[in-house]
Amino acid sequence: MRIAYGVMGYGRGHATRARAVLPALRREHEVTVFAGGDAYAMLANDFPTVRIPTLGYAYGRDGRASFTTTLMANARQTTGLLLGGESLRQVMDELRKREIDLVISDSEAWLHQAARRLRIPRISFDHVGVIAFCEPHFPSELAWRAYRDAWGYRRLMGQPDRVLISSFYPAQPRASTTRIVGPILRPEVLTAQPQSGDYLLAYFNRGHLQYSPRIEQELLELEMPVVIYGTAQEGDHDNLSFRPIDPLRFVEDFAGCRAVLATAGNQLIGEALHLRKPILALPEQVFEQELNAWLVDRLGIGRRADLVNLTAGEIELFLADAPACAARMEAFAGDGSEAAIAALQEFIAELRPCRPPRPVPAFAPYTPSGANLGEPRRDPNA
């Protein structure tokens, strides 16, 4: 089958999940990735990828994600997306040109909207769907934001033919067409050998906004080394070691740390569970991450805190409780990769169109100078 696989370009968690399942899908199907932003940078060297627009969060001066500012920053793109603007028409043209049979989307709205208009079957595969397609499972103080974000998600993504949700915690689907699997763990995480190191691992998905001088001062007050990813800095400063984003090196540091301080993405929490690394969750001001952080605290696998007001004292209290958190993680750890691939193949078979198969072309990764919408990266020797 000819499959278009859309990946939300904000942050790295969506692309990390895609990397874990794409090789298995490409063994049986012709798959073209559609991605923008961070996801394009992570996937385009290894898979045939078309660059598309992406939506993202906007931040206030305090480093917090701002709902109002996000709406304003994305208003033009969202209007064009929902009303059939030029960018959506270009994505539709790409789907027609490639004679796409089926769409899989990881929170990627352009592919959802284009497939809906072209009546191409589609599968939603992400974590955010847990708030739109599962029974409510959130605290009362977050309820109104849950309903608001669930409405917005359904407005952007529509109603897929099948829904697959990867989640580090259990949830109850509302329909038989929805299925829940555990975290999708990449091979590097599965083969890592966890050790209990003497350092704290800190990860910021938007370090230029989140890593403030005040946060740095709090980390400097800790009586332990801190390895930091996600900022523009490199090298060592007192007890702080700054590292550039490197997926393999990050997994090594992840497996060897004592605990993790990070934003509250589902993918990272799932990997922390597997590696038995307690997490101090610092959610962005968006409902999904706030719910994730609330559940981290409620399940006893870590603690939640406010990034803007974080103190060294809070970090030390978390570290004192880290051994107990690690002991509780075994009950929730698991790898949903095989179950996810099996579910995707089952859904694909159920939605398969009646047309003869076509040979899957070869693809050799390389790094060109750049690509725009409609220009997939291909083997230069083909």
Q: How does pLDDT run across 285-305, given as a tens digit for each residue?
A: 888 999 999 999 999 999 999
Provide the pLDDT confidence category of residue 382 given band limits of 50, 70 and 90: very low
- Lowest model confidence (mean pLDDT) among 115-119, 192-196, 220-224, 364-368: 364-368
CATH of residue 305's domain is 3.40.50.2000
Supply the range of the domain harboring residue 206.
190-329
Evaluate whether residue 17 is within a structural domain.
Answer: yes
The answer to whether residues 263 and 320 belong to one domain is yes
The fraction of the chain above a pLDDT of 70, given in percent, is: 86
Flag whether pLDDT at 367 surpasses 50: no
Average pLDDT value for residue range 330-336: 91
Residue 379 above 70 pLDDT? no
Same domain? For 137 and 266 the reply is: no
Domain count, the chain: 2
Identify whether 376 is part of a domain: no
Query: Is 17 in the same domain as 151?
Result: yes
71 and 153 part of one domain: yes
The verdict on 168 and 306 lying in the same domain is no
List, in sequence order, every beta strand (DSSP E) within the chain: 2-7, 30-35, 49-51, 102-106, 122-126, 162-166, 178-181, 200-203, 226-229, 235-237, 240-243, 259-262, 279-281, 302-304
Q: Does position 361 have pLDDT exceeding 80, yes or no?
A: no
Contact assessment for residue 196 and residue 258, using Cβ atoms and an 8 Å cutoff: yes
Q: Are residues 222 and 311 in the same domain?
A: yes
Q: What is the pLDDT of residue 149?
A: 87
Does residue 374 sit within a domain? no
Backbone angles phi and psi of 103, in degrees to 5? -115, 135
**For residue 11, is it left (φ>0), alpha (ψ between -120 and 50) or beta?**
left
Q: What is the pTM of this model?
A: 0.84
Mean pLDDT within 94-101: 96
> Whose CA is closest to 126, among 75, 179, 76?
179
Which residue's structure tokens are 């990272």? 268
Instruction: Specify the pLDDT at position 12.
Output: 80
Q: Enumerate the β-bridge partners of residue 155.
A: none
CB distance 66 to 141 below 8 Å: no
My answer on whether 158 and 229 are in the same domain is no
Q: What percent of the chain has pLDDT over 90?
A: 64
Q: Are residues 110 and 206 in the same domain?
A: no
Query: How many angstroms separate the CA atoms of 351 and 347, rounded?
Result: 6
Give strand pairing partners of 34: 6, 50
Mean pLDDT value across residues 80-96: 86
